[in-house]
């Protein structure tokens, strides 16, 4: 592109983005931030720029971040062993202390710093602040192959969002800042719980009546049997694709979680590829995006 053509190209891009900017004006967009996008410095900077651009464009972004790899690294350094059940980290008291230190401390501060370095204003909190999330202990069961009976799985201090009190988020948004939330919560009896970031972000999106929930992942989105991206899925299609074996493994509970968020009133949930630079803006400000959108019906 020549220097002469560049201003024209920029003007055209901004003009084409206008309908999408109008669509999301003053709307809440919840973004779950994790995976490769979080640990790659260049992608982290571009993500921060996307969030600042959203805020300057009149959107109301809320960031919920994960931090599994960073937690695992710190546990290894401290020689604390951890194991997983159904993709969830079994969290004893010692592990919970490390989880809180990493999520609500170093990671949360780093995300806030990146957004502010990009020219924005961000406030870091956890689900414990302002009783944002009052959690309950997550209950899981599994079938005992020997007895044929269901048995409880004790995940320790792993929580499920029981109640969301969004007042603190409204206060932060009114201050023109971006809330950056670590998925740590407290229970009614004062225990601290580790909450899955996807689940936490979904609960926040429902409580805030968000227009969109974006889940940044390390996959392109939902793929068909030919490994091609499925750009849109309705709730009815999810059930069918699960039955015919198109979606398998960990994608099944992820899509079931997305479906519950849509049923909770969020217009669309997008599983998007966090490895793609500026994936957030590509999803929101272009016709096709870079992931799979789940909604009640095709739009």
Tens-digit pLDDT profile for residues 46-70: 999 999 999 999 999 999 999 888 8
Two tokens at 185?
């919560």
Two tokens at 108?
């949360």
- Give the confidence band of 180 by pLDDT, cuts at 50, 70, 90: very high
pLDDT (tens digit per residue) in 25-41:
999 999 999 888 888 99
In this structure, the number of other CB atoms found within 10 A of the CB of residue 205 comes to: 29
Examine residue 2 and state whether it is found in any structural domain, yes or no.
no
Examine residue 10 and state whether it is found in any structural domain, yes or no.
no
Examine residue 60 and state whether it is found in any structural domain, yes or no.
yes
Who's near 124: CB < 8 A, 6+ residues apart? 108, 109, 111, 112, 180, 181, 182
Nearest CA-CA partner of 51 in 290, 278, 259: 278
First to last CA, the chain: 35
Examine residue 186 and state whether it is found in any structural domain, yes or no.
yes
Identify the pLDDT of residue 294. 93
Examine residue 36 and state whether it is found in any structural domain, yes or no.
yes
Q: What is the pTM of this model?
A: 0.91
pLDDT (tens digit per residue) in 106-133:
999 999 999 999 999 999 999 999 999 9
Examine residue 88 and state whether it is found in any structural domain, yes or no.
yes
pLDDT tops 70 at residue 99: yes
Supply the CATH number for residue 35's domain: 3.40.1160.10
Examine residue 14 and state whether it is found in any structural domain, yes or no.
no
Identify the pLDDT of residue 144. 72
| Residue-number span of the structural domain to which 281 is assigned | 19-295
CB 175 within 8 A of CB 55: no
Examine residue 116 and state whether it is found in any structural domain, yes or no.
yes
pLDDT higher for 130 or 290? 130
Identify the pLDDT of residue 298. 61
**How many structural domains compose the chain?**
1
User: What's the rounded mean pLDDT across residues 134-161?
Assistant: 83
């Amino acid at each position: 592109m020549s220097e002469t053509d560049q201003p024209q190209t920029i003007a055209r891009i901004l003009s084409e983005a206008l309908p999408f900017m109008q669509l999301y004006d003053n709307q809440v967009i919840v973004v779950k931030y994790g995976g490769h996008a979080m640990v790659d410095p260049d992608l982290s900077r571009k993500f921060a720029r996307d969030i600042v651009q959203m805020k300057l464009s009149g959107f109301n972004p809320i960031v919920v971040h994960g931090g599994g790899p960073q937690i695992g690294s710190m546990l290894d350094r401290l020689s604390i062993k951890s194991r997983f059940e159904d993709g969830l980290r079994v969290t004893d008291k010692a592990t919970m202390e490390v989880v809180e230190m990493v999520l609500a401390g170093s990671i949360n501060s780093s995300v806030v710093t990146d957004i502010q370095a990009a020219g924005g204003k961000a406030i870091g909190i956890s689900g414990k602040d302002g009783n944002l999330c009052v959690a309950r202990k997550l209950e899981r069961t599994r079938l005992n192959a020997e007895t044929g009976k269901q048995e409880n799985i004790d995940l320790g201090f792993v929580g499920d969002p029981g109640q969301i009190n969004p007042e603190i988020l409204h206060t932060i948004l009114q201050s023109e800042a971006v809330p950056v939330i670590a998925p740590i919560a407290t229970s009614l009896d004062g225990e601290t719980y580790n909450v899955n970031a996807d689940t936490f972000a979904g609960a926040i999106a429902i409580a805030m009546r968000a227009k969109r929930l974006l889940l940044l992942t390390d996959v392109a989105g939902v793929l068909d049997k030919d490994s091609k991206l499925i750009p849109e899925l309705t709730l009815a299609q999810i059930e069918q694709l699960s039955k015919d074996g198109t979606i398998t493994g960990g994608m099944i509970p992820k899509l079931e979680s997305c479906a519950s968020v849509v049923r909770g009133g969020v217009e669309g949930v997008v599983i998007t590829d966090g490895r793609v630079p500026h994936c957030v803006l590509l999803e929101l400000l272009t016709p096709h995006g870079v992931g799979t959108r789940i909604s009640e019906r095709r739009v």
